[in-house]
Amino acid sequence: MSLQVQGLRAGYGRATILEDVSVEVAPGEVAAVIGSNGAGKTTLVKTIAGSLAARGGRILQDGDAIGGLPPEKRARRGVVMVPEGRRLFGNLTVEENIRLGRQAARGRDEGDDPVEPLLEAFPIVRERWTQRAGLLSGGEQQMVALTRAVAGRPRYLLLDEPSLGLSPRLTQEVFRLVRLVVETTNAGVILVEQMADQALKLATNAYVLDQGRVSASGPAEEIRRSDAVRKAYLGG
């Protein structure tokens, strides 16, 4: 059981961004993807989610090839993405946004409501329940975006820069929420992050993207201790 990307090739127009990229995450694990701007991190998760067509390679969910499926069918199978910038429906309330997230779980809505533990741990989301999402702060919007994704009962969650634009305090809260999501849902998470040190501390495994290729991979703590990674991405 895992989400596997094998030999992925992807890009835009005439430009190839990813070449022979392989990544894997199992349920209950966090795979951090770090790298400099332009390395192909967002291209990777967009291709896995289906919003960008792959040019080569395979994407497997629990052994089933899903590379030919449209994004909505991947979401219904439990491959759910939270894109950079949150992209909530600003004119809808928090409750309405989360209700839309639940639609992706139709047919997989067995068991306890996965949203409830998040609302208990992060009561600010419940306090904003009837407010329009567009009026919330950036940190609050990110919490709602993650909660909406969890409402879709993800088996695999793709997070693209969840800390983007947030203060250090709110970044810590978002990472705490990601950890809780893994604990309560057992979803496998592919975490794309510029805050490399925080991402590696949270992750089980890690991949370093460099100019569209995986230049290093392995246990997250091992990658974090690497001299090359520390110098390039951790400021040490």
Helix (H, G, I), strand (E, B) or coil at 13: coil
> How does strand 79-82 pair with strand 3-12?
unpaired
Strands of the 79-82 sheet, one edge to the other = 79-82, 156-160, 188-192, 30-35, 205-210, 213-219
Say what the pLDDT of residue 111 is.
66
Say what the pLDDT of residue 19 is.
97
Backbone angles phi, psi at 182, to 5 degrees: -65, -45
Other Cβ atoms less than 10 A from the Cβ of 134: the count is 11
Say what the pLDDT of residue 231 is.
86
- Residue in the structure block whose two tokens are 């990601």: 178
Say what the pLDDT of residue 68 is.
95
Say what the pLDDT of residue 23 is.
98
Say what the pLDDT of residue 103 is.
80
Question: What torsion do the CA atoms of 30, 32, 141, 104 make, to the nearest 10 degrees?
Answer: -50
CATH number of the domain residue 135 falls in: 3.40.50.300
Total length of the chain: 236
> How does strand 30-35 pair with strand 56-61?
unpaired
- Residue in the structure block whose two tokens are 């009962």: 153
- How do residues 17-45 score in pLDDT, each as one tens digit? 999 999 999 999 999 999 999 999 999 99
Range(s) of the domain holding residue 229: 3-233
Model-wide pTM > 0.75: yes
Q: At 52, which amino acid appears?
A: L
- How do residues 81-140 score in pLDDT, each as one tens digit? 998 876 899 999 999 999 988 887 766 666 678 899 999 988 999 999 999 999 999 889
Say what the pLDDT of residue 108 is.
60
Task: Name the domain count of the chain.
Answer: 1
> How many helical (H) and strand (E) elements, i.e. helices and strands, does the chain have?
10, 10
Half-sphere exposure of 42 (CA within 13 A, CB side): 13
